[in-house]
Amino acid sequence: MPGKTRFISELTPGLGDMEDIFLLVRATQGKARNGPFWTLTLQDSSGQVDAKLWSPLSQSFSSFTPGQVVLVRGRTGAYQDRLQITIDGLRILNTESPGPNDPRVDMDQLTMTSEVPPENLLAKLKTLLREGLVYPPWRKLAESALNDPVISEAMLSAPGGKAIHHAYRGGLLEHTLSVCQMSRHVCEHYPQLDSQILLVAGAFHDLGKAFELVSEPAPDYTDQGRLLGHIPLGLEVLQPYLEECGADPELILHFKHILLSHHGEYEYGSPKRPKTAEAMILHYLDNMDAKLNQIASIFEDAGDSDEPLWSPYQTTLQRFLYKPKPTPDGNGKATTAKKKDNGQCSLPLKA
């Protein structure tokens, strides 16, 4: 039986009957007048889509497990201006021991990965650090940690989050590189900042995410992630390299403070609040990069259209979002730049 035939990015409301293979990312059970139903989030390499499994078919499934591969038969429609699949049939596939009539499953077609290959992102990060770090201990820290195969392999595969943003392989590196690049620009504008400590802290502020989350088969937390969280995990992983790099103890203390405080506020999961200019800058860069990536993802379905558009209500941001009509340039073309995938650590944004 043939494998995947159409990707989520190719689906539009009103396509009629469809049948294809997806990765199950999330499953939530609800209750309606005619019985229980399931809200599923399905994924392939091109994106994610919500799907509804209504009663009585829903009663055939007592539970779902994220990471299961499913064969879905249904119809495409729209709910609150977003694509949605109404499921008429669903079969959980055994990818380890497929039956003779099971479709061929290629996990690469179901796994979301950064647009730029993670290996290229890591190489760009190393180059940026090599060019920007002139203090030998900081350079030694960056080189020794990023050349550790355990750390590098974890960073290559890590997502930037579980669901809201960058929830795919390479997402962590995408965000890390973006924050480091922005830190260079900020330091050019504010030359009084310690550009080197901001750069090396930007490179490792979310290192713990590489051990807090796994990206395959679907983004989820590890036991370490649930019990400790990415901030203490990152410092724990870096501690041997900090001890060996030879940096001044006062600089190491500042470096640790920047990492510990990058979530900004206690209510956002930050062990400490930023108490230096560099710590404050990293917090804002981290949060800004996350929010802009999240907003870009929300309006991704609109493509390159310049038409104004409202989003559905965003629970994590506690608001609707608006995509305004862009200002034209002298030739009558929109002046907005093409979307660039960045983002991480999505902190609550105050209204």
**Average confidence (pLDDT) over 252-280:** 96
Whether residue 129 is predicted with pLDDT greater than 70 in this model: the reply is yes
The whole-chain average pLDDT of the chain stands at 89
Whole-angstrom Cα Rg for the chain: 22
Domain boundaries, the chain: 8-109, 118-293
Looking at the predicted structure, is the pLDDT value of residue 66 above 90?
Answer: no
Asked if pLDDT for residue 84 goes beyond 70, the answer is yes
Residue 304, pLDDT score: 67
Residue 348: predicted pLDDT: 46
- Structure token digits, residue 315: 């629970």
Tens of pLDDT, residues 40-56? 999 998 888 999 999 99
Paired strand residues for 107? none
Average pLDDT on 137-141 reads 98
State what percent of residues in the chain have pLDDT above 90: 61
Residue with tokens 């920007």: 132
CB-based contacts of 101, cutoff 8 Å, min separation 6: 1
| CA distance linking residue 50 with residue 25, whole number of Å | 10
Superfamily of domain 8-109: Nucleic acid-binding proteins (2.40.50.140)
Q: What is the dihedral angle through the alpha carbons of 234, 239, 244, 248, rounded to the nearest 10 degrees?
A: 90
Residues 6+ apart with CB under 8 A from 201: 255, 258, 259, 262, 278, 282
Quick one: average pLDDT of 292-298? 86
- Secondary element (H or E) of residue 312: none
Half-sphere exposure of 75 (CA within 13 A, CB side): 7
pLDDT over threshold 70, residue 256: yes
Residues of the chain with pLDDT > 70: what percent?
Answer: 91
Common-topology check for domains 8-109 and 118-293: no
At 343 the pLDDT is 40
89-104 tens-digit pLDDT: 999 998 877 878 788 8
Q: What is the pTM of this model?
A: 0.82
pLDDT of residue 15: 83
* Architecture per CATH, 118-293: Orthogonal Bundle (1.10)
